[in-house]
Amino acid sequence: MNILDQYVKTGPNPQNALDIFKGEWSSKWPAPYDDSTGKSALFEDGRIIWAEEQLGGFKDCNILELGPLEGGHTYMLENRGARSILAIEANTRAYLKCLITKEIMNLKRARFQLGDFISYLKQTQETYDVCIASGVLYHMQNPAELIHLISQVSQKVMIWTHYYDQDVIQKNPNLPKNKFSDTAETADYQGFKHALYRHNYQAALEWSGFCGGGDEFSMWMPKQDILSCLKHFGFNELKIAFDAPNHPNGPSFCIAGEQRAQA
C-alpha cells in the first residue's frame, strides 16, 4: 500500500469521511448519502420509535447504548431528546464509523467509547434511565450474564435480538446447515437454567465490515428462555413486537422490558 493513496484530493465534504469505509457500512444513511452506504434503515428505525413509546419516552433520559454499530440509533436517541447517551462499541472499525456519524450528524449529547461493554457493566457504579441493547444479545457467549448485568444498571431496557428455533432455522434457505449446533448446551447462570445453541460466524468473519461478536462463535438462546431470563432478573413487565420468525439471518424479535415493584 502506498501511503499517498490515503490522502484525499478533493475539497472537504462529508462524503469523503463516509468513503473511508466504502462498502463496509451496514446502515443506510439518510439522503443525500443513502446511495453510498448500507441497506439497514438504522437512522430511521421503527424499533427505536416503538421502544420510545413503550418505555415512557427518551426525553431527558440518561441512556446507555450497547453496541451502537455505526451510530444510527444514537442519532435517533439524541433527536428524541435524550439528555445523554453513552455508547460503548468494541469493534474498532465500527467505533471509527460512529465517530464519523457523530461529526457529520453534529451529535452533541452522545459519547462513544471504545471497549468491551461486559467489562464496563461489571465495574461501573453508574445507573441509567434506559439501556438500549439492539443487535448484541445473540453475539454473546453468555447471554444470560448480559441480561443480568443490564438489570443492575437500568430498570428499563430495549432488546432486539435473534433467537434459536430449530424448525424455523432448518427451513431457512439463507442459513448454512452447519451454522448452528443441533444439540443444546444446558447452562446455569446464577440459578437461571436455560439452553444455549452454538452459532458459528463462518465466512462472515472474512468481511471487513463484520459486525458480530469478538469470537469465532456466539451462543443463541430460544425465545422463551430469553423472556424467562428477563423475568428472572427482575424485568417483570415485558412487551414484544417485530417478531420475525422468517428473518433471513434467523428468527428475531424486539422486547421492551421494565422492572416494576410488585404490589
Average pLDDT in the 182-195 region? 95
Contact 204, 212 (CB under 8 A): yes
For residue 46, pLDDT over 70 is answered with: yes
Query: Average pLDDT over the chain, rounded to whole?
Result: 94
pTM of structure: 0.94
Contact 251, 163 (CB under 8 A): yes
What φ, ψ does residue 251 adopt, rounded to 5°?
Answer: -55, 145
For residue 263, pLDDT over 70 is answered with: no
d(CA 96, CA 19): 12
For residue 47, pLDDT over 90 is answered with: yes
Sign, Cα dihedral of 165, 153, 158, 43:
negative
For residue 208, pLDDT over 80 is answered with: no
Digit-coded pLDDT (tens) for 55-110: 999 999 999 999 999 999 999 999 999 999 999 999 999 999 999 999 999 999 99
Cis amide leading into 32 (omega within 30): yes
Sequence letter at residue 98: C
Per-residue pLDDT, 215? 83
Digit-coded pLDDT (tens) for 108-130: 999 999 999 999 999 999 999 99
What the chain holds in terms of domains, given with CATH numbers, is: 57-258 (3.40.50.150)
Digit-coded pLDDT (tens) for 226-251: 999 999 999 999 999 999 999 999 99
Digit-coded pLDDT (tens) for 127-182: 999 999 999 999 999 999 999 999 999 999 999 999 999 999 989 888 877 888 88
